[in-house]
Amino acid sequence: MPLGDRAGDKSESRYCGVETEFDDDVPQLLLSNLSSAGFDFVVAPLMDPSYRPSLMRKENGGSAVLPFAGSDLVLSPAQWSSHVVGKISSWIDLDSEDEILRIDSETTLKQEIAWASHLSLQACLLPAPKGTSYANYARCVHQILQGLNNMQLWLRIPLVKVDEDSTDVNSDNLVDSWDLWNSFRLLCEHHSQLSTAIDVLSTLPSPNALGRWFGESCFLTNSRGYPCLSKRHQKLITGLFNHSIQVVLSGKPLHNVSKGSADLPTGLNKNSSDGAQSHPLRCYLDYIAFLYQRMDPLPEQERIELGYRDFLQAPLQPLMDNLESQTYETFEKDAVKYIQYQRAIVKALKDRVADENASSITTVLMVVGAGRGPLVRAALQAGEETGRKLKVYAVEKNPNAVVTLHSLVKMEGWERIVTIISCDMRHWDASEQADILVSELLGSFGDNELSPECLDGAQRFLKQDGISIPSSYTSFIQPITASKLYNDVKAHKDVSHFETAYVVKLHNVARLSPPQPVFTFTHPNWTPDGSNQRYQKLAFEIPNDTGAALVHGFAGYFDATLYGDVHLGIEPSTATPNMFSWFAIFFPLRTPICVRPGSPLEVHFWRCCSSHKVWYEWCVTSPSQSPLHNCNGRSYWVGL
């Protein structure tokens, strides 16, 4: 029974599990934990914990076929796969000095995983590595992953962080949990079926250290649940709910809460039916359900965009390709974008024509890249708002959009004010010069849809003192941990996908350091031979309390100054609220780079141009060296 209804949330985090002891009566185990107690699944050992292959072999006179588990027939396949997560025996220690234990562990791990696959379980929980050495454990898991069906493996990791400057004498024995997870998955080559189950303990690492986990696909185990968690724990749990994690409660109850958990507001019990309190962890489940239900519903726009979260898309190429009708329709729904443009045009018109000249001077305004006409409408509304007279040209190179433009102009009765030019702005031979040039040729990374090249071509017909809206735009990047994106790129099994930029609604990512500006373009640009090639070297610092972090690539954004103080953009610290026309861009790295506080991440970005294409190249030179990505635009480029 899910934790509750939260408008718009269809993620896995609605389901809550419970860790149980071994019970060879599995139907009874489900009955006592699911139906009557309200959990959605159990994390249960699949084998008797006293089982040891070496002992069985002795008892069986060396027989290889061992009765290590009960029958699969006790549950239906659907029950096995929906309600049981296999808990791999916690005694296994694949890096033990004791050879018998080590070999027993390896055999058991393989047998249990094979059995869980046979049962079609969705996942198995692997015990945390025992010490600081886990190479053999990782090697076996890696081996298993090579032949695994769809089952996921969740490596249990206790959530601890060792401070870099810790003076704790015992800290030598402690391993930072994120470091442990990171090196284990590196050994397993970032396999997409290996993720982590974090054991949340009573003390928590710093917020920055915790932030690193948001870039993982993770699963949460709460080993010491309290009916009321600290504010930081609550924030962590709700933050993780937002990243589709699942909670599993485990451990012994520490509270003797009578029926109807006292700390909860009335009506928030997950299941108020009789017998609900019979489960010893019931009050903790109610508390988790309370935290879940208390979260704000997803805003309407977030709900629409759920399907796009962490989904890689090829960036648009509006210059080389002709956009489709539905793409224009999506643009046109973004009222905020056009409100910003209208505000900018209003300011420009007022600066251009003084109030006393409003009725005598006509401003020539050209919308270049007019699409189906929303900026033409914004311009005419700005004219009306300011009482300024306008003559408008709508220049568009997509003949299909021009058809719509014509019918719009006719329908609105704009024929005397608006002239439609079906032409590439770089080649139009204009009969007069513009006072104001309005365009929206911006990509998620600002210049990546070739606004600089198009506007350089168009400024021939802008008066020397004319205004360009936008007047400038800047791209930004920041390093991110993004396991899912990295794995999705890797799944293509070629270099070219690692040398391509993707448009993506970033969700399960950890942003490791604030974004920094990369390239700026200003319009009009009257400098002779003003080149649009750019090079930028940046150094990012990882905050001290984050600990080590893995960089899978860079998130890219833009901010544009339309006119004066009117701006529009997606750089997170200044992003235009409620504007949804642009997702971020993602530049992957072929090999993830581990960065530690105190050693900056040095990154280089180039914007390169030739006669027929523009492309980016990028690399990292510190703390370690990456290859140069996308040399000569061999994998990804934008056509001129």
Ligand X SMILES: C[S@@+](CC[C@H](N)C(=O)[O-])C[C@H]1O[C@@H](n2cnc3c(N)ncnc32)[C@H](O)[C@@H]1O
CA distance 367 to 439: 6
Hey, what amino acid is at 283?
C
Residue 402 in contact with ligand X, rule: CB under 6 A: no
> Binding-site residue total for ligand X (CB under 6 A)?
22
Residue 443 CB, nearest distance to ligand X (Å)?
8
> Which residue from 112, 126, 131, 177 is spatially nearest to 155, judged by alpha carbons?
126
Residue 570 in contact with ligand X, rule: CB under 6 A: no
Candidates 151, 194, 209, 370: give the one binding ligand X (CB under 6 A). Answer: 370
Stretch that binds ligand X, among 41-49, 128-136, 394-402, 567-575 (CB under 6 A): 394-402
Candidates 210, 220, 441, 570: give the one binding ligand X (CB under 6 A). Answer: 441
Residue 538 in contact with ligand X, rule: CB under 6 A: no
Do the beta carbons of residue 618 and residue 477 sit within 8 Å? no
Residue 549 in contact with ligand X, rule: CB under 6 A: no
Q: Would you say 579 is a known binding-site residue?
A: no
Residue 447 in contact with ligand X, rule: CB under 6 A: no
> Which residue from 367, 363, 337 is spatially nearest to 351, judged by alpha carbons?
363
Nearer Cβ to ligand X, position 241 or 445?
445
CA distance 543 to 540: 10
Residue 323 in contact with ligand X, rule: CB under 6 A: yes
Nearer Cβ to ligand X, position 217 or 342?
342
Q: Which of 106, 440, 453, 571 is catalytic?
A: 440
Q: Which of 449, 499, 571, 617 is catalytic?
A: 449
Residues with Cβ within 8 Å of residue 604, at least 6 apart in sequence: 535, 536, 537, 538, 618, 619, 620, 621
Candidates 440, 559, 571, 617: give the one binding ligand X (CB under 6 A). Answer: 440
- What x-and-dash track marks residues 328-347 binding ligand X by CB under 6 A? x--xx---------------
> What's the angle, vertex CA 5, arms to CA 21 and CA 259, rounded to 5?
50
Stretch that binds ligand X, among 227-235, 241-249, 397-405, 463-471 (CB under 6 A): 397-405
Do the beta carbons of residue 512 and residue 548 sit within 8 Å? no
Nearer Cβ to ligand X, position 106 or 559?
559
Beta pairing, strands 510-511 & 534-540: unpaired
385 is catalytic: no
Nearer Cβ to ligand X, position 344 or 595?
344
Residue 87 CB, nearest distance to ligand X (Å)?
52
- What x-and-dash track marks residues 223-262 binding ligand X by CB under 6 A? ----------------------------------------
CA distance 56 to 447: 67
> Which residue from 501, 536, 503 is spatially nearest to 635, judged by alpha carbons?
501
Residue 341 CB, nearest distance to ligand X (Å)?
8
Angle between helices 282-294 and 231-241 (to 10 degrees): 70
Residue 306 in contact with ligand X, rule: CB under 6 A: no
Do the beta carbons of residue 481 and residue 550 sit within 8 Å? yes
Could you identify the residue written with the tokens 């250290």?
209
Q: Would you say 424 is a known binding-site residue?
A: yes
Residue 318 in contact with ligand X, rule: CB under 6 A: yes
CA distance 59 to 49: 17
Query: What is the DSSP annotation of 473-537?
Result: EEEEEEEEE-HHHHHHHHTT-SSGGGG--EEEB--S-EE-S--EEEEEEESS--STT----EEEE
Q: Would you say 21 is a known binding-site residue?
A: no
Phi then psi dihedrals of residue 558, to 5 deg: -145, 160
CA distance 524 to 530: 11
449 is catalytic: yes
Candidates 89, 105, 340, 398: give the one binding ligand X (CB under 6 A). Answer: 398
Residue 376 CB, nearest distance to ligand X (Å)?
8
Nearer Cβ to ligand X, position 352 or 397?
397
| Distance (Å) of CA 119 to CA 104, 148, 197 | 22, 13, 21
Residue 530 CB, nearest distance to ligand X (Å)?
18
Residue 406 CB, nearest distance to ligand X (Å)?
14
Q: Would you say 559 is a known binding-site residue?
A: no
Residues contributing to the annotated binding site: 328, 337-338, 396, 424-425
> Which residues of this chain interact with ligand X, rule CB under 6 A?
318-319, 323, 328, 331-332, 369-371, 374-375, 395-398, 401, 424-426, 440-441, 454
Task: Indicate which residues carry an active-site annotation.
Answer: 440, 449
